[in-house]
Structure 1
Amino acid sequence: MELRLLEYFLAVDAAGSFSQAANRLHLTQPTLSRQIKGLEDELGLPLFTRTNRGLTLTQAGLYLKDRAQEILKLTQQTEQSFIDQRRELFSGNINIGAVEADSSHMLANELATFTAKYPSVTFDLFTGTSDDLFDRLDKGLIDLALLLEPVNTDKYEHITLAHTERWGLVISVDNPLAHAPVIEPNQLSEIPLLISSRKAVQKLFAGWTDSDFNQLNVIGHFNLIFNVLPLVQQGTGAALTIEGVINSNDNTGVRFVPFSPRVQTHTVLVWRKHRLQMPVTVAFINRFRNLSDE
């Protein structure tokens, strides 16, 4: 006997008619009637009697009603017990590294949802450059890293997320180009540049400009954008970065201007190959698998 049939039986009794019960169950009346008829055939006894006032339970129906309520209540209690036990036992700590990126908001949302579902789970969050995070992954100091392309993931398991980051320059508002809608490659000769020390980013940027990187007016390198914002505010140079890393309301005197043609890269979640992960880490990785499939 299926639990579903017991639920249908109780719904018909509560509604007093097949038509009303079918509406509540989002079934057609013939379908519901066949299901109840099948239940009566299985039990070998009629469960309802039709009268001028509608449906009434037979003696067998009254007996089944009591037992069905007990069975369904016990089923719900059992399911809830397993949910409570899973929440209590599913615990642990996740060590996560992340670069400066707009995707930090996505990571924050996922952590908030995950820890709300599993209150016994804690996390440590480390922000650094891609090189810092790869080093920590290799040493086992972090379980996961949220990075920005371009990155070499040959040594790692990874998920490429649908989330993308748009590249451009953070410029002092005193620079005329700060008020342009976009920056094009032929305008870069006018700007002293502050660029990431990562070779992969330099190669990406040089490819967009269609020029040799050494021909660009690069006056300095940095690992975190926060370190060079004062130089940008003073007009010393413009910093290559992604949209959303800085908030113009919190960093007055600067503005992000995107590149045209558009330059965008994906966010990537990486972890070490062949490393046994804790169940809590595997569950968190699966949340990102679902995000990448959406």
Structure 2
Amino acid sequence: MEIRLLRYFIAVANQQSISGAAQYLHISQPTLSRQLSDLEAELGTPLFTRGNRKITLTTEGMFLLRKAKEIVDLVDKTEANFNQSTEMISGEIYIGGGETEAMRFIGQTLKELLQNHPAVQFHLYSGNADDITDKLDSGLLDFGIVIEPTDKQKYDYMQLPATDTWGVLMRKDSPLATKEFIQPTDLIDKPLLISRQTTVENELTGWLGQDIKNLNIAGTYNLLYNAAIMVEENLGYALCLDKLINTSGDSLLCFKPFHPRLKANLNIIWKKHQVFSQAASRFLEQIRYNIEKSN
């Protein structure tokens, strides 16, 4: 299967039209139609349902689209790092992370790196730990920022000099807002919004002293921003990390820490035996230096 055909397929899926995709790709419509027919024949399954005004993807087509984007992104990432100048450090760095104050440390490290190597370009991907490790495993990311624990069989890692605090995001007019901190018994009958991350669920279960699924789970979230809107709409209390949502001034929200305190250590991780680009190698050197300097 040629990369060129995957690019054609992605273009048709995005445009939902053979003619629109042909115009976008600067090739003739008959040529594109023939290439797509060859791709369907090669895979032995129809990828499109052709309508009068637009075409849609079959179930097999949707699966291929997801994989095709990953493959094309990986090819583009590889080519970009091979096409770097031999006279200066250049190339691209791909970093994934969830919502955490530790990203500020990453930002400071990138700033120092770019001061010395301005031709380097970085790309950030936001997602939870499950998203990050999936993309690390497939080679789409160089580094991930995740909450401990780390799978030491699969990844090398360094602990970042940043610690997040677990607690509850709630409305300022909620019954719990007058409390200095939140204990497990305070949450027994409350509608909760929790992260979908497996490691987070395990951490919270340990703090609560019972399976978190036994509580009143009103909903789950991937990243906190939209969950905070649900809290504002009085749909529940979000169990989350501090400093991710602005609760000052006119905000309707406030954050209360857990008691006993529950801290989250953050690691930067990468695949074992990873072969880095020049840019990614220099980033790793810089962050290792900054971590050692902070200790």
User: TM-score range, shorter-chain basis?
Assistant: 0.5 to 0.7
Superposition TM-score, scaled by structure 1 size: 0.66
* 8 A Cα contact 2:169 2:240, kept in partner: yes
Which residue of structure 1 lines up, in the alignment, with residue 49 of structure 2? none
Give the superposition deviation at 1:151.
Answer: 4.1
What is the correspondence of 1:195-210 to structure 2 with a 5 Å cutoff? 195-210=194-209
Which residue of structure 2 lines up, in the alignment, with residue 265 of structure 1? 264
Which residue of structure 2 lines up, in the alignment, with residue 135 of structure 1? 134
* Count of residues in Structure 1 that have an aligned counterpart in Structure 2: 209
Which residue of structure 1 lines up, in the alignment, with residue 282 of structure 2? 283
Q: 2:96 & 2:202 partners in 1: Cα distance?
A: 24
Secondary structure of the structure 1 residue equivalent to 2:160: strand
CA deviations over 1:161-202 (Å, ceiling 9, x no partner): 231111111111111312322111121124211111122211
Q: 1:226 & 1:126 partners in 2: Cα distance?
A: 15
Secondary structure of the structure 2 residue equivalent to 1:194: strand
1:152 aligns with 2:122: no
Q: What is the one-letter code of the residue matched to 2:195?
A: S
Which residue of structure 1 lines up, in the alignment, with residue 118 of structure 2? 119
Q: 1:251 & 1:234 partners in 2: Cα distance?
A: 15
Q: 1:153 & 1:175 partners in 2: Cα distance?
A: 41
CA deviations over 1:46-76 (Å, ceiling 9, x no partner): xxxxxxxxxxxxxxxxxxxxxxxxxxxxxxx
Q: What is the one-letter code of the residue matched to 1:122?
A: Q
* 8 A Cα contact 1:87 1:119, kept in partner: no
Q: 2:131 & 2:98 partners in 1: Cα distance?
A: 9
Which stretch has the larger CA shift, 258-267 or 172-181? Answer: 172-181
Change in 2 beyond 3 A, CA 1:253/1:88: farther
Q: Which runs of 4+ in 1 moved over 6 A?
A: none
Give the superposition deviation at 1:106.
Answer: 1.4
* 8 A Cα contact 1:87 1:120, kept in partner: no
Which residue of structure 1 lines up, in the alignment, with residue 193 of structure 2? 194
* 8 A Cα contact 2:171 2:234, kept in partner: yes
Change in 2 beyond 3 A, CA 1:154/1:247: farther
Q: 2:208 & 2:152 partners in 1: Cα distance?
A: 25
Q: Which runs of 5+ in 2 are unaligned?
A: 1-84
* 8 A Cα contact 2:177 2:256, kept in partner: yes
* 8 A Cα contact 1:174 1:235, kept in partner: no
Secondary structure of the structure 2 residue equivalent to 1:89: coil
What is the correspondence of 1:147-226 to structure 2 with a 5 Å cutoff? 147-226=146-225
Q: Identity over the aligned pairs, expressed in percent?
A: 32
Secondary structure of the structure 1 residue equivalent to 2:109: helix
Which residue of structure 1 lines up, in the alignment, with residue 229 of structure 2? 230
Rg larger for = 1
Q: 1:181 & 1:287 partners in 2: Cα distance?
A: 39
